[in-house]
C-alpha cells in the first residue's frame, strides 16, 4: 500500500473511532478546510516581505497537516484519486496559462 | 518514484516553466490556498443539509486540485514530507481527542 | 457627528495610540478581515440546519465587531464612504438580480 | 433616520423583494461574508509590499460593500446594534492590548 493510501486509512480510522462521519458532509468538510487555511494564514498576518519566511515551523507543519487531512477526507468521500485530479488540473492550467504569455507575470489567465 | 513525488515534480516544472517561483513566498502561497478553499466553499453557499451533496463534480475536482497544488508547493518549499507531518498530526490529535471523550460529539478539544 | 464617524474616530485613536498604522497596509487589512470572518464561521462548523441559530451570542457579537473594525479601517484608508459604496452596490445588484428572475432562487446572476 | 438604518432598510427591501430570507440563515450569511472577504483578498494575491496599494479601486469598493452587506444583515438578524458592539469590542481590546505593552508591535495579546 502506498503512503497516500496508508494515510487515508489512518484518517478514516481516526474519524470512525470517534463516530465523526455523521458530521463530515461535504459542506462542513469544505468549511473545515477553509478554517484551517485561515489558521495557516494567521502565521503571516501583519508580516512584511522581509519577514514572511520567518515563521513558527511547528505551527506551519500542523496547519498544512490540518488542511491536507480535511482535503483528503473530502476527496475520499467523493472517490476521487487526488493524483489523477491534480494531473488533470495541471493539464488544464497549461492551456489557461501558456508559457509564452504567462512567463514572469502574476496576471490571471483572463488578463493575459 | 512514487505518485506524490511525481506530482510535486510536475508542479515545480509548471511553476519554473513560467518563472513563477518569484511570486511564491510562503505568505502568498498561504493566501492562495485560502482563496482556493473559498472557491470550493462557494459550491455550497446557500445550500441546506439536503442539498449539500448535490454539487458540480467537475468544479469539486478542480477546487480540490487547486488547494492541493498550492499546499504541496508550500510543503515542498519548506522541505516537509506531507505524509510525515500528517502522521504526526494524527498522533497529536489522538491525544487532544481521546476516543472516550470525543466519540459522537463535534465539540472542540477545549470543550470536551 | 454621526455614529459611524464617531466609531471610525475611536478605531483610528485606538490604532494610533498603539502606533499600528505601520502594519495596516491594504493587503494585511484585507487578510485580517478574512481571518476574522473565519473566526465567525468557526461558530457554525459541523452544525446542521436545525442547530445553526443555536450559537454563542457573545462570540457572535465579538466576531462581527472584529470584521467591521478592519473593514471600516480599510474603507477609511481609501477615503471611501461606506454608505455611498453600499448604495451603489445595491443599485448594481438590482441590475444583476432583477426581481422577476431572481425571486425565490439562490442561483448566481450568471446562471439566472 | 440615520444613514445606517437607511442602508439596512434598503438591504432588507432588496432581500425581501427577491424572497431570499429563506436562504439567509446565520451559517450561510457567515459563509457569504467569508467568500466576499476572499474576493477582496484576491485583489492582493501575489503582490509584494510595494504593490499592495496599487489596486483596482472599483473592485475594492464593490468587495467592501459586499462584505458589509452580509455583515449588516447578520447583525440585523440578531438585533445587534453594530455601533454598540463595536464600542464594546474597542473597550475589550483596550484591556487585551494595553498601550504600554502593545505600542509598535504586531504581536498577539497572548504573546505580549
Is C106 inside a domain boundary? no
Is A58 inside a domain boundary? yes
Chain A residues touching C23 at Cβ < 8 A: 46
Instruction: Provide the percentage of residues in chain D whose pLDDT is more than 70.
Output: 99
Q: Does D31 contact B45 at a Cβ distance shorter than 8 Å?
A: yes
Is C92 inside a domain boundary? no
Question: Residues D90-108: what's their mean pLDDT?
Answer: 95
Helical H segments across B1-112, by residue range:
3-17, 26-42, 57-77, 82-96, 99-102
> Hey, is the C-beta of A12 within 8 angstroms of any chain B C-beta?
no
Give the Cα separation of D74 and C52 in Å (integer): 13
- ipTM over 0.90? The verdict is yes
Per-residue pLDDT tens over the stretch B15-42: 999 999 999 999 999 999 999 999 999 9
For residue B15, what are the domain limits? 3-80
Q: Hey, what's the cell of C38?
A: 473565519
Give the Cα separation of C11 and C9 in Å (integer): 5
CA of B4 to nearest chain C CA: how many angstroms apart? 30
Give me the CATH number covering residue A7. 1.10.287.1080
> Hey, is the C-beta of B112 within 8 angstroms of any chain C C-beta?
no
pLDDT at A31: 98
Residues D5 and D13 sit within 8 Å (Cβ to Cβ): no
Find where cell 468587495 sits.
D63
pLDDT at A42: 98
CA of A56 to nearest chain D CA: how many angstroms apart? 13
Per-residue pLDDT tens over the stretch B46-96: 999 999 999 999 999 999 999 999 999 999 999 999 999 999 999 999 999
Residues D37 and C47 sit within 8 Å (Cβ to Cβ): no
Is C57 inside a domain boundary? yes
What global pTM score does this model have?
0.97
Q: What angle do CA D112, C18, C37 make, to 5 degrees?
A: 75
Is B100 inside a domain boundary? no
Is B104 inside a domain boundary? no
Give the Cα separation of B105 and D57 in Å (integer): 46
Is A85 inside a domain boundary? no
The partner residue sitting opposite A31, judged by closest CB among C31, C35, C41, is C41
Domain total of chain C: 1
For the ranges B75-79, C99-103, D61-65, D108-112, the lowest mean pLDDT is seen at D108-112
**From residue C45, how far is each of A31, A68, A73, B87, C30 by CA, in Å?**
7, 17, 16, 24, 23
Per-residue pLDDT tens over the stretch B100-110: 999 999 999 99
> Taking Cα atoms as reference points, which of B18, B19, B14, B31 lies closest to residue B74?
B31
Give the Cα separation of A84 and A86 in Å (integer): 5
Find where cell 438591504 sits.
D11
Q: In this structure, what are the phi and psi dihedrals at residue C30, rounded to the nearest 5 degrees?
A: -60, -40
Is C90 inside a domain boundary? no
> Hey, is the C-beta of C49 within 8 angstroms of any chain B C-beta?
yes
pLDDT tens track, chain A, 112 positions: 799 999 999 999 999 999 999 999 999 999 999 999 999 999 999 999 999 999 999 999 999 999 999 999 999 999 999 999 999 999 999 999 999 999 999 999 999 9
* Residue C87 confidence class, pLDDT cut points 50, 70, 90: very high
Amino acid at each position: 500500500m502506498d503512503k497516500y493510501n496508508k494515510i487515508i486509512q489512518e484518517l478514516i480510522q481516526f474519524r470512525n473511532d470517534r463516530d465523526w462521519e455523521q458530521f463530515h458532509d461535504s459542506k462542513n468538510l469544505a468549511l473545515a478546510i477553509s478554517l484551517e487555511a485561515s489558521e495557516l494564514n494567521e502565521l503571516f498576518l501583519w508580516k512584511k516581505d522581509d519577514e514572511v519566511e520567518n515563521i513558527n515551523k511547528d505551527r506551519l507543519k500542523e496547519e498544512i497537516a490540518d488542511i491536507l487531512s480535511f482535503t483528503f477526507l473530502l476527496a475520499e468521500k467523493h472517490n476521487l484519486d487526488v493524483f489523477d485530479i491534480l494531473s488533470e488540473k495541471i493539464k488544464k492550467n497549461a492551456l489557461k496559462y501558456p508559457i509564452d504569455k504567462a512567463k514572469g507575470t502574476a496576471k490571471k489567465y483572463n488578463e493575459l
